[in-house]
Structure 1
Amino acid sequence: MTDTITIDFSEIEPRDKYKIMIGTIVPRPIAWVTTVDAGGRPNAAPYSFFGCLSSDPPIIGLGIEYRADGRSKDTARNIRDVGVFTVNIVSHSLADAMNTTAFPFDEHVNEVEMAGLTLRTGIKVASPAIAESPAALECRLHSFIDLGKSREIILGEIVAARLRSDIINERFHIDPMALDAVGRMGGSAYSTTRDCFDIKPPTL
């Protein structure tokens, strides 16, 4: 049996906890979140502290780090102010554009324009969707969870999904090859979801 190393999280720094988490909890899906502020100005930013938590009700969770000075990032502030957001799925062809929107631009800079992307009006929410994305999940704010000074947790309820027609069939099954989503690994590394395999559920 291979030797193991035990790390007591109460004895290491927050940054080291972060490095262990992002290196082991992989690949992480990327929520490419679009919002609008109270004045209607759009914002886009990717977050890999993201996951689906419930299907009834359909709840997703975002973990958004605070700025270095302790203020909320534009995405979190907009969600608080307006109460809605849209999660766009990042396909492999959009990885570079997504990376552009990760840059900490000034709050008045339009990240979507900088990345050469197109916005389209939301169906049921005020926040727009990224037109080039294969799937967009429109959400209403469910609740915030305050974890302290590091990161705020946002729960959103999906109220509508806009999907490219070639990725979904009449039984609502999504074709992972057509979606071609990318995931986040540790550091600057990403992964594709093209190498899939099936395992049949166990039976007695």
Structure 2
Amino acid sequence: MFYDTASNRHGLAHDPFKAIVVPRPIGWIGTKGRDGSLNLSPYSFFNAIGDNPKLVMFSSSGPKHSARNAEETGVFTCNFVGRELVEAMNMSSIAVPYGENEFEIAGLTPVFGELVDAPYVGEAAAALECRVTEVVRPRTVDGGVADSIMVIGQVMGIHIDERIIRDGMLDMSLARPVARMGYLDYAEASDTFPLRRPKAP
């Protein structure tokens, strides 16, 4: 099958786009508002975009609380979602008014960063402390502005729970990372295998 995205006439029960671009890591974003309120929300439009310096991005469909706080304060955290925290992560996705504390709603411990004034999840196996470098309103091919707000942050500090370290590396069988699939689906990405790049002759 083929369909153009302008009409989006795919004939399926649900739009397949987000089921094709998978698995997507979950950016579990912690922020603090100017009013001192704490916010925690998961974003499936998230990824690392560079390692020198270390840069990550999350994209909000519309002006949601995390993007607002990150843009206003210039900082955020990104928290690792392991299988043992997936229910809490899902609970933190609840749509509540600005200022409501999703850490509290999800029964999680907010811990403030060493280098940034934003909370991270105390129970998470890893967390990134980030400073905002750019907030991007992506453009469309016809010159319009997309409904997305992309926040790019430079990673200033990294927390790692030593229980997931084995032989000097993060062990995914211990960390049990969760990824976003299409529709209502998630996946645990702990069944890993090594693959070396080929070398040109």
TM-score by length of 1: 0.88
Please give the alpha-carbon distance, in whole angstroms, between the structure 2 residues aligned to 1:155 and 1:33. Answer: 12
1:200 to 189, 196, 199: 196
Matches within 5 A, 1:47-126: 47-66=43-62, 72-126=63-117
| 1:167 Cα deviation from its structure 2 partner | 2.1
| 1:169 Cα deviation from its structure 2 partner | 5.6
Whichever residue aligns with residue 166 of structure 1, its letter is R
Please give the alpha-carbon distance, in whole angstroms, between the structure 2 residues aligned to 1:161 and 1:183. Answer: 20
Partner residue of 2:137? Answer: 146
Whichever residue aligns with residue 161 of structure 1, its letter is I
Partner residue of 1:8? Answer: 4
Matches within 5 A, 1:151-190: 151-168=148-165, 171=168, 173-190=169-186
Deviations 1:150-199 (A, max 9, x none): 1111111000000101223685x321112111000011110001211222
Please give the alpha-carbon distance, in whole angstroms, between the structure 2 residues aligned to 1:11 and 1:111. Answer: 37
Q: Kindly report the root-mean-square deviation, in angstroms, between the aligned alpha carbons of the 2 structures.
A: 1.8
Whichever residue aligns with residue 7 of structure 1, its letter is Y
Moved segments of 4+, more than 6 Å: none
Whichever residue aligns with residue 9 of structure 1, its letter is T
1:23 to 11, 19, 25: 19
Identity between Structure 1 and Structure 2 (%): 31
Q: 5+ residue gaps in structure 1?
A: 67-71
Contact 1:87/1:136 (<8 A) preserved: yes
Q: 5+ residue gaps in structure 2?
A: 139-144
- Which structure: greater helix fraction? 1
| 1:133 Cα deviation from its structure 2 partner | 0.5
Partner residue of 1:137? Answer: 128
